[in-house]
Amino acid sequence: MTTTSKPLIHAGRSTPPAVTVASWAVPVMVLGRFALLAIVPVAIALVVALRHARDRTVRWAATLLTLTYAIPLVVWLTRPDGAPSLSKDMHPASVGLIVAASAALIVTILRAPRR
């Protein structure tokens, strides 16, 4: 019996599907007021893009998404008088930047060259 591993990149894509799913999940979670839980798809998008994406633009867009998410997270964690949740503490401009960075990642994934 032989076992074959599935390739991480499917059907001629140069970007793994996990990055695509995570990039769509981030704005849904942030706009749905689950901003703290959005750390999971942000981390997935960053790690998988840096390790497996062939296109440099996708890696840069994933890094941009991580930075735009990390700034309000760090502010919320370090502020002594912050709100009880990240969603309530996050400025609307930060939400807009996170959604825009996620949209940029989605666009770069869609425009990434095929294998």
The pLDDT-based confidence of 14 (bands split at 50, 70, 90) is confident
- Higher per-residue pLDDT: 113 or 95: 95
Angle at alpha carbon of residue 34, lines to 18 and 17, rounded to 5°: 5
The whole-angstrom separation of Cα 8 and Cα 15 is 9
| 88 within some domain | yes
Domain that holds residue 21: 17-111
pLDDT tens digits, one per residue of 21-66: 999 999 999 999 999 999 999 999 999 999 998 889 999 999 999 9
| 7 within some domain | no
| 6 within some domain | no
| 59 within some domain | yes
Provide the domain count of the chain. Answer: 1
Q: What is the pTM of this model?
A: 0.85
pLDDT at 26: 97
